[in-house]
Amino acid sequence: MALLLGMVAVACGTDAVPAAPELDAGPTAQDGGPAVLDAGAPDDPDDAESPDSPIPTFAVGGIVNGLAGTGLVLQNNAGDDITVAASATFVFATKLEAGKPFAVTVKTQPTSPPQTCVVTGGTGTVASADVSTVTVDCTTDAFTVGGNVTGLAAGNEVVLQNNGGDDVTVSADDSFIFATPVKSGESFAVSVLTQPSAPNQTCVVTGGTGTVAAGNVVSIAVNCTTERYTAGGTVSGLDGVGLVLQNGGSDVPINANGTFSMPPQADGSTYDITVKTQPTAQRCTVTNGAGTLQGANVTDVTVACVDLFTIGGTVTGLAAGSVVLTNNGGDDLTVSANGTFTFATPVSADATYAVAIKTQPTDRECQIVNASGTPTVNVTNVTVTCGHTRCRTVGGQLWCRDVVGARSCNTFCSATGLSPPTIDDATWFAAQNEAHECSALAAAFGVGSTNLGAWSISCAEIHGNSMACSTNPSCPTAFRLTPTIAPSVYAVCPCGDATACATGNEGAATTVTCPAGSVITSIAYASYGLPTGSCGSFTNGTCHSATSQLMVEQRCLGKTTCTVNATNEVFGDPCFGAGKRLYIQASCQ
């Protein structure tokens, strides 16, 4: 019976059942001995030995989700590797007995595209059933997309985007990275959403499209260049040749009227268009020539050209020395001989000229005719006429030679503290034009214009001859001196009167003083007695000496300073016993 059981066990054997006990059967037929079996045990069933029961085993597995790459290798308990090629269920080859631990891990992550697989429920203990709840979730790896920006102007910014979104603003030359990574195997497309605008720039993307591989994209290049614009406008009135305009060192010749443009320059830069070379016989003026480019071409610069004319004339009467002329307060021209002259600087047709004498000759005085105007052709009719010896002081009076010299009277009178001549320049020279013999008012000599008589004036210091005063019908308010001293007439210049007053009590010395350079020419008021009032409005009192005027004139006329004693010995006693006083008002010239 034991033998039978052993045979059954061999026939139905399993890997999970232990082998039957080896029986000592002696040589077998295979060995060439007799086929005799030794039961080796009693036939009693109760005495027979029972084999162990099989130990059950269970499979470990689960499911893989999201697998897109290749090469995923899982393992259990650090071994029993299994390669998974696609999202599906999986089972490890080696089963585990109940109660045994399992630990499923990723040995090799998938590639192409690279992915990261994460195991959920991968550890535990085998119970009494297969394990099928292990989950492996795979996600494709994502990488950043970025690069570098160059050429961005200071203060500017450019807005970039990737795949139509994920905007990033770059404010300086630097690297950039989009915030949202892109999965490996997916495409990227970097573009410029907003170009820089202060100044205007154009940014161009290089290497901005492609497919993300197994690493960050860092090779995208964004190069920005500043837009360039022109500054220009119109030219009008150009007749001459040789006009050259300049802007920051860039020269542009202009040959005709019309539009013009200077070479382009970067937006935001300044321009300053000027005339470098004027055209022949013209002057061109630039308007709106300076500014800053602001995102567009400038077209409102105007260049207006006008004709230029020379200013000149003739000088006559210049004997020695030189006269210095000016035009419009400058462009000084020294003329040292009679003849024609021309100022160095021409005057444009839209301007005026005004010729004047800056410095008179040392021995003469010059006048100008046709001194000002607006030129339409070259001016040649400015006439400068120079006269003879000018004014000099003789015997306390200012004597001038010829009509031209009379103008110096104003200067003399001002310098000596007296009033200007009583005849204005227009009247003065209108009278002079008759015969160049009319001079100042006869009052300058202390006589009325209607009572000149034959009063002689000594001029020994000048010429050694004497002169007599007489009226001139063409100039009844002036006088003429005879005989004529060739080559011209000496005439006295009248300065307006200056007033000098003095008062003193009886017995005192009363002094009258004129301004320096002038003398007492008349006594307007004099009274020894009891006069009243103030200088300019003296009035005789109840007591007045009839000799007052005569006595004062005898002592004061022709003098700058005179002193008169207020005494009865000089004037007599007009009111015996009264305390008297002396009031004097003199006219000085």
Q: Letter for the amino acid at 261? A: S
Please report which confidence band the pLDDT of residue 472 belongs to, taking 50, 70 and 90 as the band edges. very low
- Write down the pLDDT at residue 414: 46
Q: Give the Cα separation of 87 and 76 in Å (integer).
A: 18
Compute the Cα dihedral for 461, 467, 470, 472 and give only its sign.
Answer: negative
Determine what percent of the chain is predicted with pLDDT higher than 90: 63
How far is Cα of residue 38 from the mean position of the Cα atoms in its chain?
127
Given a contact cutoff of 8 angstroms between Cβ atoms, the answer to whether 200 and 187 are in contact is no
- Write down the pLDDT at residue 73: 98
Mean pLDDT of 437-454: 32
Q: Is the peptide bond before 531 cis (omega within 30 degrees of 0)?
A: no
Q: Give the Cα separation of 135 and 171 in Å (integer).
A: 47
Given a contact cutoff of 8 angstroms between Cβ atoms, the answer to whether 510 and 580 are in contact is no
Pick the CATH number of 228-308 from 1.10.287, 2.60.40, 2.60.120, 3.30.70: 2.60.40
Mean pLDDT of 225-237: 96
- Write down the pLDDT at residue 23: 36
Burial of 162 (0-12, 13-18, 19+ CB in 10 A): buried
Please report which confidence band the pLDDT of residue 366 belongs to, taking 50, 70 and 90 as the band edges. confident
**pTM of the full predicted structure?**
0.50
Compute the Cα dihedral for 261, 266, 272, 274 and give only its sign.
Answer: negative
Find, among 275, 303, 277, 293, the residue nearest to 231 by Cα. Answer: 293
Give me the residue spans of the domains in the chain. Answer: 57-140, 142-226, 228-308, 310-386, 414-492, 498-588
Fold equal for 142-226 and 228-308:
yes
CATH number of the 498-588 domain? 2.60.120.740
Per DSSP, the three-state class of 462 is coil
- Going from the C-alpha of 305 to that of each of 236, 280, 373, the distances in angstroms are 6, 11, 20
β-bridge pairing 353-359 and 311-316: unpaired
Give per-residue pLDDT as tens, 291-333: 999 999 999 999 999 999 999 999 988 877 899 999 999 999 9
Q: Give the Cα separation of 175 and 330 in Å (integer).
A: 63
Compute the Cα dihedral for 557, 560, 566, 567 and give only its sign.
Answer: negative
Give per-residue pLDDT as tens, 143-180: 999 999 999 999 999 999 999 999 999 999 999 999 99
Determine what percent of the chain is predicted with pLDDT higher than 70: 71
Q: Give the Cα separation of 367 and 432 in Å (integer).
A: 14
Give per-residue pLDDT as tens, 53-79: 789 999 999 999 999 999 999 999 999
Per DSSP, the three-state class of 429 is helix
142-226 placed in CATH 2.60.40: yes
pLDDT beyond 50 at 338: yes
CATH number of the 57-140 domain? 2.60.40
Q: Give the Cα separation of 554 and 512 in Å (integer).
A: 13
